[in-house]
Amino acid sequence: MSKSFSIGVDLGGTNLRVAAYGAEGVFLETISLKTRLADGRHAVVSDLCAAIASLLRRYGSERGCAGIGIGSPGPLELPSGIIRNPPNLTGWDGFNLRHAIESTLERPVSIENDANLAALAEQAQGAGKLLGSDSLCMLTMGTGVGSGFILDGKIWHGSSGMGGEAGHIVVDPEGQRCGCGGIGCLEQYASATAIVRMMSESSRTPASALEVAQWAMAGDPVAQAVFHRVGRALAIALTAVVNTLNLPLYVIGGGASDAWELFAPTMFQELLSRSYIYRLTAPNSDPMVEDKAGVASRTQICRARLGSEAGLLGACLYGLQDPLQQANELEMRIG
């Protein structure tokens, strides 16, 4: 067998996607299912493993399977693979997802936080590849605000695997109560859910974040103010990350990031006034202006390139790596 492939799983609260991915860099096949949350976690694991098994049968005869990457909503404890208090998987707290999958499949899998896998994909194949950057922070504006950090080319897990929750940076210490138990987290001001809530508080109730964006595009000042709040919240959270980590690249994705033109101007303006590291390293928009900072490296903030594909692609790329090596690395780091 000259070619190898991997299998990637993107386990979401709504959709379950399983793909076979060729090492040459193409999706061989994608299986899309609904996540049967109402039928319990074992039903979901059963669907997930059945899809993996069918892909293993179909492609395993002609190619070697390098590994299986599983993207799970967090927080996820690593290396154990136990899910902790997941906001979008009710009743899964304490569930050992790794063990459930491995005992069904009877083979090892690589399990990882879904936001980290999206970040890995953007680094390897998306915005990071474009800019030649091996470190980045990715924020995903969806139902919540997920995030993942790639530092020197590797997913940063933190000491118990629960790193990367930039959606829970405090942006308003006396603000909105968050699902995480905290107060005024970024997620309460920059998620699709938050956009709907902020609009409802100020004016009419929209059907979705997309509708708020449409109203804003049509000139509704209240809807426009909602997106200014989004941009401001992102800037306050990014200030924390830019000033502490000084990463070369910040990638913003997720469905609500489609409203980029509505929130990005406020975000950049607030970042320039709030983060002095950003001020020193912001790209010069005008090439005729002398580069005062003269710094070796710039801070780029841009939209994600891979869209909703990122999580699934990241799982496939993670699967292509040797799972035993990943487990050893994690053991070493986490002890």
Residues engaged in binding a copy of itself (CB under 8 A): 75, 77, 79-80, 82, 84-85, 133, 135, 147, 149, 151-152, 156-166, 168-173, 180-183, 232, 236-237, 239-241, 243-248, 273-277, 279-281, 293-299, 333-335
How far is residue 35's CA from residue 105's CA, in Å, rounded to a whole number? 19
Query: To the nearest whole angstrom, how small is the minimum distance from the Cβ of residue 331 to a copy of itself?
Result: 9
Amino acid at 25: G
Query: To the nearest whole angstrom, how small is the minimum distance from the Cβ of residue 49 to a copy of itself?
Result: 25
The HSE-up count of residue 163 (CA atoms within 13 Å, CB side) is: 20
Helix (H) or strand (E) holding 16: strand 15-22
Residue number with CB closer to a copy of itself (33 or 151): 151
Residue number with CB closer to a copy of itself (74 or 206): 74
Query: To the nearest whole angstrom, how small is the minimum distance from the Cβ of residue 2 to a copy of itself?
Result: 33
Residue number with CB closer to a copy of itself (225 or 334): 334
Residue number with CB closer to a copy of itself (7 or 120): 120
Q: Is 331 exposed, middle or buried (0-12, 13-18, 19+ CB in 10 A)?
A: exposed
Query: To the nearest whole angstrom, how small is the minimum distance from the Cβ of residue 81 to a copy of itself?
Result: 11
The HSE-up count of residue 97 (CA atoms within 13 Å, CB side) is: 32
Among 97, 101, 98, 89, which Cα is nearest to 144's? 89
* Contact of 212 with 195, CB cutoff 8 Å: yes
Query: To the nearest whole angstrom, how small is the minimum distance from the Cβ of residue 60 to a copy of itself?
Result: 33
Residue number with CB closer to a copy of itself (21 or 268): 268
